[in-house]
Amino acid sequence: MPPKPQVTTTINPIYGCSTSPAENPRFKRHGRRPPRRPITLLTVSEIESGTAKLPEYYALGLPLMAWCSFRFAELSELRVKDIEDGPRGMVIHVRRSAPLVNGKPKVKDGVKSDAGVRDVWVPSPLAEQIRNRLKVIDNSPNTFVVSNHRGDRLPRSTFTKQFKKVLPPAKAEMHVHALRHTGAVFAAWAGATTAELQERLGHATMEMAALYQHVAEGRQQAIAERMSDLH
């Protein structure tokens, strides 16, 4: 795992080019699109402390979303059969999701887009947490990796309520989906290219992945240090 980045900034969308798409004449009649709200990120220590405070049957959901950049709909459908652990490390096969449809989760084969069907390699410390979780749950293929106290699908509202309780006061308004952005910034800080981020997050376009390249603090310094190691 790379050194722990102290990511405390918020991120705003960028376009990855010198001009905004809004400058295109065909968009002029609509005006410039207002900027999105900044997205708050968690630090590594905040992820660890928050995880320790959550109920054990779904505590793993926090680092899974933060380090693997899962959508909640993907997390809530994660099952034992989706985890492959071998000599090269652990990989999670994202093949299904359970988004809310009319207020109820509906399982979909495939995820938000074709790009969302992907394999996500897991950082070693998190892989060890997952192995420990698998030791205490039913290892039947369809068992949920994170669940409610009965072992059923974890409701988003349940996770969100408890997640809010373990946030630092300064980040109390943080949205659960921001954990996915946190993981994207970590991956960019570790050296992932735009194409690699696109694959890891399951984005259909490179534009969505590109913004994370410009957020990871200290990235240029880290690159220089790694280049020095080549001498």
Q: Which of 183, 226, 223 is nearest to 202 (CA)?
A: 183
Q: What is 108-160 written as a DSSP string? A: EEB-SSGGG-EEEEPPHHHHHHHHHHHHHS---TT-BSS--TTSSPPPHHHHH
83 three-state secondary structure: strand
164: annotated active-site residue: no
Name the active-site residue from 112, 164, 171, 219: 112
Active-site annotation holder among 58, 133, 181, 212: 212
Beta bridge partners of 97: 108
Of 67, 53, 40, 45, give the one whose Cα is nearest residue 163. 53
Q: Where on the phi/psi map is residue 167: left (φ > 0), alpha (ψ -120 to 50), or beta?
A: beta
Which among 33, 106, 177, 226 is annotated as catalytic? 177
User: What are residue 108's phi and psi, to 5 degrees?
Assistant: -120, 135
* Catalytic one of 118, 156, 180, 181: 180
214 a catalytic residue: no
| Residue 180 annotated to the active site | yes
Are 196 and 210 a contacting pair, CB within 8 Å? no
Given 96, 118, 200, 203, the catalytic residue: 203
Is 4 an annotated catalytic residue?
no
Under DSSP, is residue 193 helix (H, G, I), strand (E, B) or coil? coil
Using the structure block, give the residue that is written with the tokens 């002029």: 28
Catalytic residue among 57, 58, 71, 95: 71
Residue 96 is encoded by which pair of tokens? 């299904």
Residues 207/195, Cβ–Cβ less than 8 Å: no
List the catalytic residues. 71, 112, 177, 180, 203, 212
